[in-house]
Structure 1
Amino acid sequence: MKFFAVLASLVAVASAQSVSFTTPRSGGTLTRGAPTTIVVQRPVTSTPVQSVSIVISLDACTGSSCPNPSSALGTILFAGPFTPAGSPPSQSFNVTIPTTFPAGEAEILATHFSLTGTGPTASTEIDGEIIFVR
C-alpha cells in the first residue's frame, strides 16, 4: 500500500512541472531570419513548483527521425529565466531562427529546470514539437 502512495506522489510531482508549447504547434512552420514568438505553458498544479530556467532550442531532423534531445539540444534560441505568469502560467519568448539553419523538418525543444514540492526536489524535463523550417 505504501508503494502505491509513493508512486502516486511521484506521478503527481512529475506532471506538476510539465511544460508544453502553445506556439508553435506540432506541424507548424517557422521562417529562417524572421522574428517569431514562442509561447511555453506550465499547467496549474496543487504541488508547489518554482520554475528556475528554460532553454529553447531547435534541432534539424535528418532522414526519418529527429535526434535524441538527451544527447544534444541543437541550436540554442533562448537560455535564461522561466517566469510564467497568468492562468495557466505561460511565457512568451521572441526569437529568430538563424538563416543558416537547414530548411525542412525540425524539432523545437523546451528544456525546463524547476524545483518541485516542499523539499524541494530538482527536476529537469524536455518537451518537443516537430515543426517545419523554411
Structure 2
Amino acid sequence: MKNILRSISYSMALGALVSTRVALGNPVIWIPTEGTTLTAGSEVTVMVQDSSYATPIQETSLSIGLSPCTETSCPTPDTSVLYLLYTGAFNPQRPSSPVNYDPGSYAFQNFTVTVPAEAESGSYTLGVLHSYWGESAVPVYFPSTDVATVTVNIVSA
C-alpha cells in the first residue's frame, strides 16, 4: 500500500510539474528590438521582462550573450554563446511610475552591457538564459530555464 501511495504521490508531482511547465512563458527582451543595429565596442541597454509563472519560483540567475548567426540559423543561449555579456542576479521590478517604454504589467530589469569590440559585422542572436527553481503544485522545487532571443545586426565601429 505504501508503494502505491508513493507512486500516486510521484505521479501527481510529475503531473503538476508538467502542467506548470505548460503554463509558464518565457522572458521577453523588450530592448533592443528585433533587427536593431548595434556598433561593436558600444554599450547597449538590454531590457528583460520577467515571465508570468503559474507557481512560485526562486530566482537563480540570468545570462545575456551574443552569438553570430550562420547562413541557415541563429543559435540560442541554451545551446551556446560566443560572447558572454552578463551573468548574475536577476531581480526584476515593476516600475513605481510610468516608463517611456512600457513593458506591460510584468516586472523587468535593465542591464547595460558592452558589445565586444572584436565582434565582426553581421547578424547575431542576442539571447537571455534565465535559470530558476519552480515550485510544483506539491511543495517540491524543480530546476528550470527560460530563453528569450532577438536577432540584431552588429557593425564595426
- Structure showing greater Rg: 2
SS at match of 2:150: strand
- CA distance in 1 between counterparts of 2:22 and 2:89 reads 20
Q: Which residue of 2 aligns with 1:48?
A: 56
TM-aligned CA deviation for residue 125 of structure 1:
2.5
Q: Which residue of 2 aligns with 1:97?
A: 115
SS at match of 1:71: coil
Equivalent of residue 119 in structure 1, options 100, 125, 140: 140
TM-aligned CA deviation for residue 120 of structure 1:
1.3
- CA distance in 2 between counterparts of 1:100 and 1:120 reads 41
Given that residues 17 and 49 in structure 1 are in contact (C-alpha distance below 8 angstroms), is that contact kept between their aligned partners in structure 2?
A: no
TM-score normalised over the length of structure 1: 0.83
Q: Which residue of 1 aligns with 2:100?
A: none
Given that residues 25 and 52 in structure 2 are in contact (C-alpha distance below 8 angstroms), is that contact kept between their aligned partners in structure 1?
A: no
Determine whether 1:132 maps to 2:140. no
Instruction: Report percent identity of matched pairs.
Output: 28
Determine whether 1:31 maps to 2:33. no
| Runs of 5+ unmatched residues, structure 1 | none
Q: Aligned AA for 2:145?
A: T
Question: CA deviation digits over 1:59-93, x for unaligned, max 9?
Answer: 01122322354432120000111111114111110
Given that residues 51 and 106 in structure 2 are in contact (C-alpha distance below 8 angstroms), is that contact kept between their aligned partners in structure 1?
A: yes
TM-score normalised over the length of structure 2: 0.72
Distance 1:22 1:15, change over 3 A: farther
Given that residues 114 and 122 in structure 1 are in contact (C-alpha distance below 8 angstroms), is that contact kept between their aligned partners in structure 2?
A: yes
- CA distance in 1 between counterparts of 2:109 and 2:123 reads 25
Residues 50-65 of structure 1 mapped to structure 2, 5 A cutoff: 50-65=58-73
Q: Return structure 1 stretches of 4+ with deviation > 6 angstroms.
A: none
- CA distance in 1 between counterparts of 2:154 and 2:23 reads 30
Alpha-carbon RMSD across the aligned residues, in angstroms, is: 2.4
- CA distance in 2 between counterparts of 1:105 and 1:22 reads 18
Say which structure is richer in strand: 1
